[in-house]
């Protein structure tokens, strides 16, 4: 792994002469980089299988570049200049348009990719999050497969479906996708990188060798997609197969379906990169947003915002939109950026404490940050319906309800709902795990006319319950509330004990 080398910033070093604090930081940075490089080299040399060593070597090189950049950024202490941050220009974020005529054959140039690296642990499930049942016995994965299969049949095209797994989800996913073998769909999988966690104090890698325990490694965020696509060889394979564009989204965003209007807008504007954004509400105040920075579109994440400007960032006055993480990219443009070694995504430092109490750091990147590297990159302000993430059982209640109808894997909001937007649903800790959620609802309530629902404590719902307006149901410690079958609650506060027993 001789190609791994620390890259001292010569110009920066020259500028910093005479600043003893900076000299000390630079020296420390140099030592840390050299020590890390030696440790990574040692781990690579320990891999005996040539094919595995090649893949591991490529991953460690990518990690080292990220680590070295982290050290350099930390020594410089450079941050975004808030005075240069402006809302995006009209040409940088365009309105969503329904076009008169789109030739569906353009879909033959498209590949669809779902980010499938996450586990279902926050919702109390074992294995990949994508295998949680969300609607009518179908999982996230089932719905995505059905969408692409229908697209291929409807338009007589061949859109491949790609899953970017992590080392946490790879084995389970490989087993699960076997059930789609007889479907009209070409499923491809590859793994995102596996990077070593770094001890916060020593700045040394936590794993001792390439086969060290899973707990010593982490998947480095979805910004890694560009490295992983390239290193896996899949980027070249897609281009060789005549694919020109890729649509990337989170596997748990059920609103992220292929849209011909967006694809055609991308082609017409010759944009190499399109980020779908949508109007910000009070629920989205921490979402990243497109900004204009020195004349170029960039992504601003909450982690980059100085504390004294947080209120400004979270308000909807200056920053009116947020990133849905639905991204469209030109494949040849990705290849060009990677060949030129030009990718330099803002680093997200994720501080963690292991089960053994060790303080570690994970260096991560986000796909949205890549917007600055592509020519004529734009945002498209899409309808809210394209952002339908399921992050909790509160979201699951919405998806399972009659608020949405399901056809060919696509969820559509009920047209009879006269007021805009989805209801705000806040279910307490008793509903946190999917298994508990399912036990507490005999059937999913009718929430077509609901504005707001808060449920806290030991609460269960009978069959055929209707909830409308604002409903707050609170069972205090030691109390239990059972909403009887057929109950209709509209603008009601229910507290205390409530249990009706048949006899």
Same domain assignment for residues 172 and 224: yes
Q: Are residues 342 and 200 in the same domain?
A: yes
Q: Is 95 in a helix, a strand, or coil?
A: strand
Domain end residue (candidates: 386, 404, 437) = 386
For 401-438, letters b (16+ CB in 10 Å) and e give: bebbebeebbbebeeebeeeebbbbebbebbebbeebe
Taking the C-alpha atoms of residue 314 and residue 320, their distance in angstroms, rounded to an integer, is: 9
CA separation for the pair 73, 448 (Å, rounded): 50
pLDDT tens for the chain, 503 residues long, are 333 333 334 333 333 333 444 454 555 678 999 999 999 999 999 999 999 999 999 999 999 999 999 999 887 776 788 989 998 999 999 999 999 889 999 999 999 999 999 999 899 988 999 999 999 999 999 999 999 999 999 999 999 999 999 999 999 999 999 999 988 899 999 999 999 999 999 999 999 999 999 999 999 999 999 999 999 999 999 999 999 999 999 999 999 999 999 999 999 999 999 999 999 887 787 789 999 998 889 999 888 888 888 888 888 888 899 999 999 999 999 999 999 988 999 998 999 999 889 999 999 999 999 999 998 899 999 999 999 999 999 999 999 999 999 999 999 988 877 556 789 999 999 999 999 999 999 999 999 999 999 999 999 999 999 999 999 999 988 899 999 999 999 999 998 776 655 44
> Taking Cα atoms as reference points, which of 213, 180, 179 lies closest to residue 197?
213
Residues 48 and 150 in one domain: no
| Range(s) of the domain holding residue 45 | 26-76
Total number of domains constituting the chain? 3
Rounded CA-CA distance 312/351 in Å is: 25
Structural domain includes residue 332: yes
What's the rounded Cα separation, in Å, for the pair 361 and 292? Answer: 30
Residues 403 and 380 both lie in one domain: no
Check whether residue 158 and residue 242 sit in a common domain. Answer: yes
489 inside domain? yes
The whole-number pLDDT of residue 503 equals 42
CATH code of the domain covering residue 154: 3.90.550.10
Q: Which residues are catalytic?
A: 391
Whether residues 465 and 326 share a domain: the answer is: no
- Whole-number pLDDT of residue 180: 93
The domain that holds 445 is classified in CATH as 2.160.10.10
User: What are the contacts of 42-50 at 24+ separation with CB within 8 A?
Assistant: 43/196, 43/205, 43/207, 43/208, 43/209, 43/210, 44/1, 44/210, 45/1, 46/209, 46/210, 47/210
What single DSSP character describes residue 88?
P
Q: Is residue 503 part of a domain?
A: no
pLDDT at 148: 97
Binding residues for substrate, as ranges, are 222
- Asked if residue 405 lies in contact with residue 412, where contact means CB atoms within 8 angstroms, the answer is yes
| Whether the Cβ atoms of residue 294 and residue 81 lie closer than 8 Å to each other | no
Whether 158 and 140 map to the same domain: the answer is yes
Residues 170 and 257 reside in one and the same domain: yes
Closest listed residue to residue 386, CA positions, set 412, 355, 418: 412
What backbone phi and psi angles, to 5 degrees, belong to 226?
A: -70, -45
Query: Domain check: are 163 and 53 in the same one?
Result: no
Task: Return the pLDDT at 285.
Answer: 78
Note the pLDDT of residue 13: 35
DSSP string, 171-229: HHHHHHGGGGTTSS--EEEEEPP-EE-EETTT--BS-SSTT--GGGEE---GGGHHHHH
Residues 166 and 204 both lie in one domain: yes
In a domain, 16, yes or no: no
- Residue ranges for the known binding site for UTP are 129, 192, 221, 252, 391
**Same domain membership, residue 289 and residue 205:** yes
Same domain, 310 and 451: no
């Amino acid at each position: 792994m001789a190609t791994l080398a620390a890259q001292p910033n010569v110009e920066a070093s020259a500028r910093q002469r005479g600043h003893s604090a900076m000299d000390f930081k630079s020296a420390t940075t140099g030592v840390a980089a050299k020590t890390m490089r030696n440790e990574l080299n040692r781990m690579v040399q320990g891999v005996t299988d040539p094919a595995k060593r090649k893949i591991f070597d490529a991953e460690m090189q990518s990690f080292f570049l990220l680590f070295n950049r982290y050290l350099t950024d930390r020594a410089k202490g450079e941050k975004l200049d808030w005075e240069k941050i402006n809302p995006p220009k009209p040409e940088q974020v365009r309105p969503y348009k329904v076009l008169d005529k789109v030739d569906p054959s353009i879909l033959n140039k498209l590949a669809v990719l779902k980010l499938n690296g996450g586990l279902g642990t926050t919702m109390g499930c074992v294995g990949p999050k994508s295998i949680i049942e969300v609607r009518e016995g179908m999982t996230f994965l089932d719905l995505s497969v059905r969408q692409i299969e229908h697209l291929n049949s409807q338009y007589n095209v061949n859109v491949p479906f790609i899953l970017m797994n992590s080392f946490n989800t790879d084995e389970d996913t490989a087993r699960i996708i076997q059930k789609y073998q007889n479907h009209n769909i070409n499923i491809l999988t590859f793994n995102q990188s596996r990077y070593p966690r770094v001890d916060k104090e020593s700045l040394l890698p936590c794993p001792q060798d390439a086969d060290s325990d899973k707990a010593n490694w982490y998947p480095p965020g979805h910004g890694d997609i560009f490295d992983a696509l390239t290193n896996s060889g899949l980027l070249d394979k897609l281009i060789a197969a005549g694919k020109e564009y890729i649509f990337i989204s989170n596997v748990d965003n059920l609103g992220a379906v292929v849209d011909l209007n967006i694809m055609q807008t991308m082609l017409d504007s010759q944009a190499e990169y399109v980020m779908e954004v949508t109007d910000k509400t009070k629920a989205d105040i921490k979402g990243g947003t497109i900004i204009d920075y020195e004349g170029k579109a960039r992504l601003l994440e909450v982690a980059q915002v100085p504390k004294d400007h947080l209120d400004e960032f979270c308000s909807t006055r200056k920053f009116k939109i947020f990133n849905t993480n639905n991204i469209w990219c030109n494949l040849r443009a990705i290849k060009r950026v990677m060949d030129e070694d030009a990718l330099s995504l803002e680093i997200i430092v994720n501080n963690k404490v292991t089960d053994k109490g060790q303080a570690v750091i994970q260096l991560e990147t986000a796909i949205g940050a890549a917007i600055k590297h592509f020519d004529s990159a734009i945002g498209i302000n899409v309808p809210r319906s394209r952002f339908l993430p399921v992050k909790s059982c509160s979201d699951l209640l919405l998806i399972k309800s009659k608020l949405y109808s399901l056809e060919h894997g696509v969820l559509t909001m009920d047209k009879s709902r006269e007021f805009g937007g989805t209801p705000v649903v806040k279910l307490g800790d008793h509903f946190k795990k999917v298994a508990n959620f399912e036990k507490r609802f005999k059937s999913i309530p009718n929430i077509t006319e609901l504005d707001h629902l808060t449920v806290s404590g030991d609460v269960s719902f009978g069959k055929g319950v209707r909830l409308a307006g604002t409903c707050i149901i609170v069972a205090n410690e030691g109390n239990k509330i059972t909403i009887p079958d057929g109950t209709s609650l509209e603008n009601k506060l229910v507290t205390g004990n409530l249990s009706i027993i048949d006899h």
